[in-house]
Amino acid sequence: MPKKPPQLTVSSLKIEKTPSLIYTKYRRKNVGKKFKLNYCEFVYQLFSMNSTQLPRSRKMTDGEIARQILVEFGHIEKFRERFTNPDRLTIHLLRNDYNYGRLLRKKGPPKVKCFCFDEEGDPVNPRYAYPRKLTKEEMDEQQKEHEEKYYKPWVEGKDKYLLARKRTKQQEQ
């Protein structure tokens, strides 16, 4: 005769007070050690500071930006691997995401475009094997193109969004 499986009873369950995973607090991933910002917020602030707040003599090169990210996020293995020996495109792609408004979508593209800088603090075009310095006219042209193509449409779209939201709230009242 086959054995009967054990009966499910309260005493056989051995119930304990285990915290529910559903109701635990949300924990942000990839938080930096010192500033407690997530990865995208930290990189956004780095590029923003580099393009607007730092004097020419203190502008950060791509290598310095990679080092700053490594200092802040070195405890996370995937960042340690990516920024220990970064290739040329690593920071270049991050800068493009920043300039186009993809790095932090809620903040959108910056008004002042972030350029790549050399050791002397001069803006350079990193697309060449030996980065060539940009002239003032080239910088102004690129800045104007950036504002027309990315910044102004985002601001206009944001205003339309805020107006539509305001109208719906007024209609509800």
> What would the pLDDT profile of 2-23 be if each residue is shown by its tens digit?
777 666 666 666 777 776 666 5
How many C-beta atoms lie closer than 10 Å to residue 126's C-beta? 18
Q: Identify the band that residue 31 occupies on the pLDDT scale cut at 50, 70 and 90.
A: confident
C-alpha 27 chain-centroid distance: 17
On the CB side of 132, how many CA atoms lie within 13 Å of its CA? 8
C-alpha to C-alpha distance for 38 and 58, rounded to whole angstroms: 24
Residue 169 exposed, middle or buried by CB count within 10 Å (0-12, 13-18, 19+): exposed
C-alpha to C-alpha distance for 61 and 91, rounded to whole angstroms: 10
Element (H, E) at 117: strand 116-117
Q: What is the mean pLDDT of the chain?
A: 81
Looking at the predicted structure, is the pLDDT value of residue 1 above 80? no
> What would the pLDDT profile of 35-64 be if each residue is shown by its tens digit?
888 889 999 999 999 999 888 889 998 888
Q: What is the mean pLDDT of residues 140-163?
A: 79
**Residue bearing the bigger pLDDT, 20 or 81:** 81
Q: Identify the band that residue 144 occupies on the pLDDT scale cut at 50, 70 and 90.
A: very high
CA-based angle 59:50:79, to the nearest 5? 100
| Tally: H helices and E strands in the chain | 7, 3
